Structure 1
Amino acid sequence: MNVVIFAGPTLSASEGARVLDATYLPPAAQGDLYRAALGKPVAIGLIDGYFERVPSVSHKEILWAMKQGVHVFGAASMGALRAAELSAFGMEGVGEIFKAFASGALEDDDEVAVVHAAAEDGYRPFSEAMVNLRATLQAARAAGILGEESRRTLESFAKGLFHADRSWPALFQRARETGLDVAGLEAFRRFVTEHRVDQKRLDAFALLHTLHARLEAGLPPKETRYAFSHTDAWEHIRQKVGAAPASGELDAAL
């Protein structure tokens, strides 16, 4: 069956192909999901998407795709954000990050933002997503490596960093500068080395496994009940897709 997955820094195409046979495309920019939906796939999985320097994948193109009978799933990064925003219309979210945004436990886009290398370098991340920092801190607390006060302090330090500057070295440096317990930090450093939690990656695989199971069970065309309005903004997206190639080499993704 024809399935399209948008991914990059969270999950490589070769890794994804081991779970789900699909067409793997780079992180989605505005218009890319509409372009993919024109090919009438059974489903589209949105994991990574660009932001900052170009318009992000729009809600409107997701709504249009579902109106054409295409199932749209989201997880991990931009996909989790859009699924939380459009779940009432039928976009399906998968994973812990989606659940956190859908419940309101998380609200900020920067929670999933990373900067990364270009396609030829495998979209290698240069920063760490806040959701991964949070998940690892929580895992260390559960393992008894960190007390609750230390976990909260480190989480606050991480959130205070600009998303492009978030990394484990930057967090440890900030902690040292503020005088946190050196022995406790060293134990946590060892924990991160051995047990770092990549929640985005876990949720991306969860999306692929979910899609695989749904396809195996039989996935009829998507049914929707909302009316789709052809606004000027929507026509602008359609015209732009007709005049431009797919998203190129940008350097920041959700």
Structure 2
Amino acid sequence: MSRLIVFCGPSLSPEEGRAVVDAVFLPPARQGDLYLAAREKPTAIGLVDGLFDQVNSVAHKEIRWAMSQEIHVLGGANMGALRAVELAAFGMEGVGTIFGWYQRGLIEDDDEVALIHGAAEDGHRPLSEPMVNIRATLSAAEASGVISSTLHGALLGIVKESFYPDRSYPMMLARARERGLGAGELEALRDFIGTRKVDQKRLDALRLLEVMRDRFSAGAEPKKVLYHLSYTDAWQAIRDRADAGSASVD
């Protein structure tokens, strides 16, 4: 049997994840966490959620190091989608719609997946709406005939120009009304959001877990890479900080 490790938080709760795959679920990763997970020699690591802004984010080097240790690393939905696009050439595997958007250049900015969320004791509950979820919801609303393509574009502009912690559906609708955009369409959209909004991050996180379950639950061949990982002072500093933090917790 293989051992799987998944980093997730606001995109998907560990309880939901365990219903899909038998894995060790850890909180959103910060720099050094994936390195520490890789030291446990799992078959695969799934990166969904990661911390940023106030702490150092998951380093590209620790992901490359994990893969050089014959560990499969997959990413999707949130920080995992970003890193999977950035490290696809080295063998990190991306899963899901959001990864596909980044890969095809349909979206580019880090703020597309950014959100604020509660602390661990609050279950990392989302406190804002990520741009990727709003994109998916507005696309679904237009496809259902609820809004026009013109309003769709205007609403995307309203949300995109706002700071990511402020993003929410109520904010979007309120600013649209202030600008005199179609009241009838906005009311229909409000009803649509209430019952049919799309949580694309959650969908992608579930898809990543399904892929991990189907590919690795019964074991898998070790990951093979073609690159040589050079050891630098910066990489050693990341390892030293992670090891020190792990020792202090223990």
Matched residue type, 2:179: T
The 3-state SS of whatever aligns with 2:87 is: helix
Q: TM-score, normalised by structure 2?
A: 0.97
Matched residue type, 1:26: P
Q: Distance in 2 between matches of 1:218 and 1:58?
A: 27
Q: Distance in 2 between matches of 1:218 and 1:4?
A: 14
> Counterparts in 2 of 1:63-142, with a 5 A limit?
63-142=64-143
Identify unmatched segments of 5+ residues in structure 2. Answer: none
2:2 counterpart of 1:10: no
Matched residue type, 1:20: V
Matched residue type, 1:91: M
Q: Distance in 2 between matches of 1:161 and 1:45?
A: 30
Counterpart residue number, 1:32: 33
TM-aligned CA deviation for residue 184 of structure 1? 1.0
> Counterparts in 2 of 1:40-79, with a 5 A limit?
40-79=41-80
Identity level (%): 55
TM-aligned CA deviation for residue 183 of structure 1? 1.2
Q: Distance in 2 between matches of 1:163 and 1:219?
A: 39
Does the 8 A contact of 2:5 with 2:24 survive in 1?
yes
The 3-state SS of whatever aligns with 2:45 is: strand
The 3-state SS of whatever aligns with 1:117 is: coil
Does the 8 A contact of 2:44 with 2:216 survive in 1?
no
TM-aligned CA deviation for residue 24 of structure 1? 0.2
More off after superposition, 22-31 vs 217-226: 217-226
Counterpart residue number, 1:251: none
> Counterparts in 2 of 1:95-244, with a 5 A limit?
95-216=96-217, 218-244=219-245
Q: Distance in 2 between matches of 1:76 and 1:57?
A: 15
TM-aligned CA deviation for residue 217 of structure 1? 6.2
Off by >6 Å, runs of 4+ in structure 1: none
* 1:83-124 alpha-carbon deviations (Å, 9 max, x no partner): 000011100000010011111111100000010001111111
Matched residue type, 1:195: R
TM-aligned CA deviation for residue 245 of structure 1? 3.8
Matched residue type, 1:127: S
Does the 8 A contact of 2:43 with 2:219 survive in 1?
no
Q: Distance in 2 between matches of 1:71 and 1:220?
A: 9
Does the 8 A contact of 2:49 with 2:80 survive in 1?
yes
TM-aligned CA deviation for residue 216 of structure 1? 4.6
Matched residue type, 1:186: E
Q: Distance in 1 between matches of 2:218 and 2:105?
A: 32
Matched residue type, 1:117: G
* 1:140-169 alpha-carbon deviations (Å, 9 max, x no partner): 000000110000000110101100000011
Does the 8 A contact of 2:73 with 2:93 survive in 1?
yes
Q: Distance in 2 between matches of 1:233 and 1:98?
A: 28
The 3-state SS of whatever aligns with 2:236 is: helix
Does the 8 A contact of 2:48 with 2:205 survive in 1?
yes
Q: Distance in 1 between matches of 2:186 and 2:63?
A: 44
Q: Distance in 2 between matches of 1:17 and 1:216?
A: 13
Identify unmatched segments of 5+ residues in structure 1. Answer: 249-254
